[in-house]
A and B are shown apart, each in its own frame.
Chain A
Amino acid sequence: MLRRSAVYAQMVKTGVDHIQSKEEMSPEERAFQDRVDADIKIEPKEWMPEAYRKTLIRQISQHAHSEIIGMQPEGNWITRAPTLERKAILLAKVQDEAGHGLYLYCAAETLGVSRDELLEQLNSGKAKYSSIFNYPTLTWADIGAIGWLVDGAAIMNQVPLQRCSYGPYSRAMVRICKEESFHQRQGYDIMMKLAKGTPEQKAMAQDALNRWWWPSLMMFGPSDAESVHSAQSMRWKIKINSNDELRQKFVDQTVPQAEYLGLTVPDPDLKWNAERGHYDFGAVNWDEFYQVVAGNGPCNRQRLRTRVKAYEEGRWVREAADAYAAKKAARAQVKAA
């Protein structure tokens, strides 16, 4: 699952304090900006501003981390999926997420960091991942809500990122987007079954929507009207749309889907605004958002603990694989001699 770039990038300090005009730029920077403006993809070996490289490393790796941590809330229901078919689907989805993490780590590595370095940052708590995965999956309906809302929000963000200026990132997005639409549809499919099922099932679906709605809106990140970093990212085409733009688009698209299910969006201020041609909606609880990002959400500690435990307890297996590879390589050398 791909998550919101704004959220990944929000903590990035790249040393950029204002947006340079073309006159302020060095010849290299100007040539770079011209390429970006002309929609020419930037490739790994080309010159790029250090802040561009740093921003991308941060954004792509936090994106990758989100895929890895994102396997936990859903993995939580694999053994308890209500039918064999649902279980097989969920397994396939979690597998996809591992793959998305892999694509993204590889894209980040083209910028000159190693995957092990990035994983170290994740394990030590230094690197962030999407705030959404710090919420618990309490019922089976949560798996539906995650696919529908969380992956839906992710797609909203990823589709424009396919046009992002950095070649390896944009290509990873193309690949991921294809698979992501499977995730969203299967989530909505779960919600449909529940919403049209017994009153208990429908109540379960409503409860899941109630708990995941606001965290999903938070995935788009804070309003970026005042953010210099956000403006710079847009100038560099690392980011294509503003947070609020995408959030509005998500609400406009999702509300009718909720109505189709016969479910209620948990926002008393939600109302169609014919004048704007958009839904008006209530204020997001940003205090909660910043608490979660700061590590104080419901599951932050558990998610990280699980991750570190897998890493530590898997150490001997990685070492065994290394030793075996070394032995095979040595044998091949002897044979060749």
Chain B
Amino acid sequence: MTDKKEWPLWEVFIRSQHGLAHRHVGSLHAPDAEMAIMNARDVYTRRNEGVSIWVVKASEIAASSPSEKGPLFDPANSKVYRHPTFYEIPEELGHM
């Protein structure tokens, strides 16, 4: 009963009315990008959720692996000087 060819999976990103960036909201199956956008509009913006839609084929996305979380993000841990709060500024200078 299954069709031979499966429609590809698309990841959907939406920028809301006052949103600064597109946010991932979910995914859907569609034969092509045009249909993916149409379906994303119907499914994910039925209640004025957004003003802009991106769809990306899921197969085009590479993701970091949870098991490598340590080595991947470790380097940031020892670099506290990247945060502005690391630096002490004399109180009498006021806000900086």
A322 close to B5 (CB less than 8 A): yes
Footprint of B on A, CB under 8 Å? 43, 45-47, 92, 95-96, 98-99, 102-103, 106, 109, 114-117, 119-120, 123-124, 172, 175, 179, 308, 311-312, 315, 318-319, 321-322, 324-325, 328-329
One of B2, B5, B29, B46 near A99 (C-beta < 8 A): B46
Contact present for A114 and B6 (CB under 8 Å): yes
Q: Count the B residues whose beta carbon is within 8 Å of the partner chain — how many? A: 22
1/0 per residue B59-96: CB within 8 Å of A? Answer: 00001011100000000000000000000000000000
CA distance A117 to B1 in the complex (A): 10
- List chain A residues, Cβ under 8 A from B43: 98-99, 102-103
B1→A45 contact, CB < 8 A? no
Q: Are B1 and A123 in contact (CB-based, < 8 A)?
A: yes
Is the CB–CB distance between B2 and A117 below 8 Å? yes
Name the prevailing secondary structure of the B interface residues: loop
The yes or no answer to B56 lying at the interface (CB within 8 A) is no
Docked pose: A195 CA to B13 CA in angstroms = 44
Q: Kindly identify which residue among A47, A175, A321 contacts B35, using a CB–CB cutoff of 8 Å.
A: A321
| Bound CA–CA A106/B47 (angstroms) | 20
For the complex, give the distance between the alpha carbons of A120 and B46 in Å. Answer: 29
User: Contacts of A179 on B, CB cut-off 8 Å?
Assistant: 47
Q: Which of B23-60 contact A (CB under 8 A)?
A: 26-29, 31-32, 35, 42-43, 46-47
Contact A45 B32 (CB under 8 A): no
> Whole-angstrom distance from the CB of B47 to the nearest CB of chain A?
8
A45 touches B29 (CB 8 A): no
Q: Are A124 and B1 in contact (CB under 8 A)?
A: yes
Q: Assuming the A-B contacts A116-B6, A318-B3, are A324 and B28 also in contact, with contact meaning beta carbons closer than 8 angstroms in the complex? A: no
B46 touches A95 (CB 8 A): yes
B6 and A45 form a contact (CB under 8 A): no
Q: Are B31 and A321 in contact (CB under 8 A)?
A: yes
The CA of A315 and the CA of B65, in the complex, are separated in Å by 38
- Show the binding face of B for A, using Cβ within 8 Å: 1-3, 5-7, 9, 26-29, 31-32, 35, 42-43, 46-47, 63, 65-67
Q: Is the CB of A311 within 8 A of B32?
A: no
Lowest 7 A-B CB distances belong to which pairs?
Answer: A325-B32, A325-B31, A321-B31, A99-B43, A106-B27, A46-B66, A120-B2
Distance A119 CA – B6 CA, assembled complex (angstroms): 12
Closest B residue to A311 by beta carbon equals B1
What residues of chain B lie closer than 8 Å to A106, measured between beta carbons? 9, 26-28
* Contact (Cβ within 8 A) B31 A115: no
Which of A45, A95, A109 is the one whose CB lies under 8 Å from B9? A109
Checking A45, A321, A329 against B65 with a beta-carbon cut-off of 8 angstroms, the contacting residue is A45
21 pairs across A/B with beta carbons < 8 Å?
A45-B63, A45-B66, A47-B67, A98-B43, A106-B9, A106-B27, A109-B27, A116-B3, A116-B6, A117-B2, A120-B1, A124-B1, A308-B1, A318-B7, A318-B31, A321-B7, A321-B32, A322-B31, A324-B32, A325-B31, A325-B32
Q: Residues of B contacting A46 with CB < 8 Å?
A: 66
CB distance from B57 to the nearest CB of A (A): 11
Question: Once the chains bind, are A102 and B28 in contact (CB under 8 Å)?
Answer: yes
In the bound complex, what is the Cα–Cα distance between A102 and B9 (angstroms)? 12
CA distance A175 to B3 in the complex (A): 30
With CB as the reference atom, state the residue of chain B lying closest to A179: B47
Residues of A within 8 A of B35 (CB): 321, 325
CB proximity of B83 to chain A, nearest CB, Å:
25
Which residues of chain A are near B65, meaning CB under 8 Å? 45
> Contacts A109-B9, A120-B1 hold; do A43 and B26 have CB atoms under 8 A apart?
no
Task: List chain A residues, Cβ under 8 A from B63.
Answer: 45
Contacts of B47 in A (CB 8 A): 179
